[in-house]
Amino acid sequence: MKFFLKNLLNEQAKSIIRSFGLYQILYNKIHSHKLAVAGKRLDICANEVALYLLQSGKGKYVLRDKICLEIGSGWLLTHSLVFYLMGAKKVYATDLYPLLQPENIFQAVSKSVGWSILDSLSTFEDREIIHLRLKKLLSLKKISVETLKELGIEYIAPIDLSQKIPTKDKIDFIFSKSVLEHVPVDDVIPLLKNLESSLSEDGFMFHLIHLLDHKNVSERPFDFFVYSQEAYSRELQSRWGNRIRRSQWKQIFSNLKHLDSRFVFEWLCKDRVLPQKIDSSIQYTDEEDLIVSHIGVFGEFTSFPKVKS
């Protein structure tokens, strides 16, 4: 218990440091630069989106002339750029905080492997169209918020989607990757209900949800199970993960009356040990429920309210 108390005290000190404006500016610049040449390169994000759409059963022209919404678009908006490449008419790239670092976007585009992007996305749009749009991106040596808007990508931050949606237009596709686990528990249902109500008649959504402890995800991915509900604040829920397990997510999504949802995949973390004691505030069905690391949730709008069995 001393170890976890010390962790909380250290986190309070770190929280104070993170609150300084200069720290946030420097962190955002350094972090976005690292992402631009690694995990948020355009080709990597294109591969991810293609994988998720294929597993959801989607095919040709799925985003052509569609309105898209990305939740938690982050520092570089590369997933939103993928939607542009796939023919989207309008993309709303949103975030709870203004994190965007547009000066690093071109690096995320230019450091990518072009043929990999074309190969990944050609299942969903004509290769020639993707190629022309990619050439357009590569010609933009300096990308700004205004430039993105000209491409049909509107950056909106800060915005809390549990309170409001950025457009009155119906949305055809809603996407998030490793975002919903950072939403405080009390805000999850209001957020998803807002998203559900914003979908068009043919609208659908996909969410990749990462269920492990984000503080030390590689070495101690289950540590956050030991904290009591009182000790695990909204800030910690946002930083380390809200601790909602697979079984709870399934129930939450099934309770959305106008969303027909299913898990298209789930992955387990079997090579790390659970804590000896799991706090009673953690809701789970069995040990497997605790060690699920990721779930892919696909949902489509249904006009007829679902009837509970």
What's the chain's average pLDDT? 93
How many whole angstroms separate alpha carbon 249 and alpha carbon 103? 37
Each residue of 71-111: pLDDT tens digit? 999 999 999 999 999 999 999 999 999 999 999 999 999 99
Provide mean pLDDT across the span 186-210: 97
Whether residue 156 contacts residue 149, with contact meaning beta carbons closer than 8 Å, is answered with: no
| Other beta carbons within 10 Å of 12 | 11
Instruction: Give the CATH number of the domain where residue 35 resides.
Output: 3.40.50.150
Is 154 a residue whose pLDDT tops 90? yes
Indicate whether 256 belongs to any domain.
yes
What is the pLDDT confidence band of residue 9, given thresholds at 50, 70 and 90? low
Better-scored residue on pLDDT, 308 or 183: 183
pLDDT at residue 4 greater than cutoff 70: no
| Amino acid present at 205 | M
pLDDT at 182 over 50: yes
List Cβ<8 Å contacts ≥24 apart for 287-292.
289/245, 289/246, 289/247, 290/222, 290/225, 290/245, 291/222, 292/211, 292/245, 292/246, 292/266, 292/267, 292/268
Tokens of 88: 């989207």
306 lies in a domain?
A: no
Q: Is the pTM of this model over 0.85?
A: yes
Cβ-contact 198, 170 below 8 angstroms: yes
Residues 6 or more apart whose Cβ sits within 8 Å of residue 224? 213, 215, 232, 236, 240, 241, 243
Q: Residue 259's pLDDT band (boundaries 50, 70, 90)?
A: very high
Q: Tell me if 82 sits within 8 A of 137, measured CB to CB.
A: no
* 36-76 tens-digit pLDDT: 999 999 999 999 999 999 999 999 999 999 999 999 999 99
Residue 307 included in any domain: no
The whole-angstrom separation of Cα 279 and Cα 270 is: 20
Tokens of 32: 């976005």
Domain that holds residue 208: 2-301
pLDDT at 305: 72
Measure the CA angle with vertex 59, ends 53 and 65; round to 5°. Answer: 90
Q: How far apart are CA 213 and CA 9, in angstroms?
A: 18
How far is residue 257's CA from residue 255's CA, in Å, rounded to a whole number?
6
| pLDDT above 70 for 210 | yes
What mean pLDDT is predicted for residues 231-253?
97
Number of domains in the chain: 1
Q: Locate 115 and state its tokens.
A: 């043929």
- pLDDT of 2 higher than 50: no
Q: What is the C-alpha separation between 294 and 223, in angstroms, rounded?
A: 16
Residues 6+ apart with CB under 8 A from 217: 210
Contacts of 101 (CB under 8 A, 6+ apart): 28, 29, 32, 33, 75, 76
94, part of any domain: yes
* Cβ proximity of 58 and 23 under 8 Å: no
What 8-state DSSP symbol labels residue 228? -
